[in-house]
Amino acid sequence: MDRLKVGLLGATGLVGQVFVSLLSRHPWFDLVALSASHQKSGRSYGEVVSWIVERCLPEDVAELRLLNLDPNEFSGVDIIFSALPSDIASHIEPKFAEEGFTVISNSSNLRLDPDIPLIVPEVNPEHLALIKIQRRWRGRIVKNPNCSTAILTMTLKPLMEHGLRRAFVTTLQAVSGAGFAGVPSLAITDNVIPHIPREEDKLSKEPRKILGTLTNSGVREADISIAATTTRVPTRHGHLESVLVELSEELSEEELAECFSRFKGPPQDLSLPTAPANPIVVRRKVDRPQPLLDRTEGGGMSVSVGRISRLGWHGRWYRYVALGHNLVRGAAGNAVLIAELLSYIGNSDSRPF
């Protein structure tokens, strides 16, 4: 397969930096074009960025000149990743799509539009077919879900075949989910903030689409009810989710654990570069998963699940704890995996799903 040229919009922010980190050592993609806000254009990335990702900033990327947010400056690029803030994304991303680019975006705008694939590659890769009915632009836009949703749906997908009916989620989300300066130290040190703007709405709606069924007329939403209480806690990275689910089928705790462990999707079957060997890693120790110890599992692409148990309630109610890296599986990593899947399909005669 020929190497593909990729570009990145919103390269200086926290998610942008994780994109740079993942793309700069990618076996298929060459990161050749970066942009940030207009006032930074023309300067080198290394000069402008306040690099805070633990891995070092690669020198060849540091030397790239920042481009304007103008599709003309990105000519020759095969895939555009976008880590733009939603308000800017909502008018910039369509411009790129209009010029024929494939845009894979982490911004929240458009996610629920019927012609927009909202993808977790292990969960609903077949929804990429929505691209064919996406006719408003010459190119196409594919969306990442909200970070907590990406992590949650990884664990809900294997429950669908056991009759998932309802889920109630309490999230304990890391500060990096709000961007570099999103949470002041004084607001969160020795504290929990039991509210994250718009997050609960996303968590109740996006999974219904992601877990929905692809039909000829689009995606039919899954018939499940999801509600969430979202909180911000003083961790750096890694969203932990305490999940309660009602199923229609009876499962033992061990069966539930196996159901999680066995879960795989096309990214694993195709050995895509960013795909973790195990999308879900079941932790058997009673005090796991923990953000500090488990967030980098599978390079940040695996979701760790623990504390699985059946409630002594009337009905079939279960609880578990899930953990994923909000910047990798919940953002840049998931987008890169989408791009890998799209590239594979484009280069393959057979359809993997």
How is 238-285 classified by DSSP, letter by letter? -EEEEEEEEESS---HHHHHHHHHH---HHHHTT-TT--S-SEEE--S
Nearest distance from C-beta of residue 301 to a copy of itself, angstroms: 16
Tracing tokens 């397969």 back to the chain, one arrives at 1
Residue 115 is classified by DSSP as: T
Q: Which two tokens stand for residue 253?
A: 């705790």
CB–CB of 279/206 below 8 Å?
no
Residue 76: how many CB atoms within 10 A of its CB?
8
Query: Is residue 242 close enough to count as binding a copy of itself by CB under 8 A?
Result: yes
Catalytic residues, which ones?
Answer: 147, 239
Query: Is residue 331 close enough to count as binding a copy of itself by CB under 8 A?
Result: no
Among 313, 346, 348, 351, binds a copy of itself (CB under 8 A): 313
Q: Which residues contact 72 (CB under 8 A, 6 or more apart)?
A: 99
For a copy of itself, the closer CB: 37 or 231 = 231
Residue 63: how many CB atoms within 10 A of its CB?
11
Query: Is residue 353 close enough to count as binding a copy of itself by CB under 8 A?
Result: no
For a copy of itself, the closer CB: 190 or 349 = 190
Tell me phi and psi for residue 44, to 5 degrees: -80, 150
Query: Is residue 289 close enough to count as binding a copy of itself by CB under 8 A?
Result: yes
Query: Is residue 244 close enough to count as binding a copy of itself by CB under 8 A?
Result: yes
Nearest distance from C-beta of residue 240 to a copy of itself, angstroms: 5
Residue 211 is classified by DSSP as: T
Nearest distance from C-beta of residue 95 to a copy of itself, angstroms: 31
Binding mask 8-47 for a copy of itself (x = CB under 8 A): ------x---------------------------------
CB–CB of 152/172 below 8 Å?
no
For a copy of itself, the closer CB: 133 or 227 = 227
Query: Is residue 172 close enough to count as binding a copy of itself by CB under 8 A?
Result: yes
For a copy of itself, the closer CB: 41 or 231 = 231
Query: Is residue 137 close enough to count as binding a copy of itself by CB under 8 A?
Result: no
As a whole number of angstroms, the longest Cα–Cα distance in the chain is 64
Q: Which residues contact 152 (CB under 8 A, 6 or more apart)?
A: 167, 169, 203, 207, 241, 243, 322
Query: Is residue 59 close enough to count as binding a copy of itself by CB under 8 A?
Result: no
How is 119-134 classified by DSSP, letter by letter? --TTT-GGGGGGGGG-
The CA R_g of the chain, rounded to the nearest whole Å, is 20
For a copy of itself, the closer CB: 227 or 277 = 227
Query: Is residue 114 close enough to count as binding a copy of itself by CB under 8 A?
Result: no
CB–CB of 208/170 below 8 Å?
no
Among 52, 220, 277, 351, binds a copy of itself (CB under 8 A): 52
Nearest distance from C-beta of residue 110 to a copy of itself, angstroms: 23
Query: Is residue 176 close enough to count as binding a copy of itself by CB under 8 A?
Result: yes
For a copy of itself, the closer CB: 127 or 237 = 237
3-state DSSP assignment of residue 296: coil
For a copy of itself, the closer CB: 53 or 110 = 53
Query: Is residue 201 close enough to count as binding a copy of itself by CB under 8 A?
Result: no
Residue ranges in contact with a copy of itself by CB under 8 A? 14, 52, 54, 166, 168, 170, 172, 175-176, 180-195, 204, 225, 227, 229, 231, 233-236, 240, 242, 244, 286-293, 296, 306-307, 311-314, 317, 319, 321
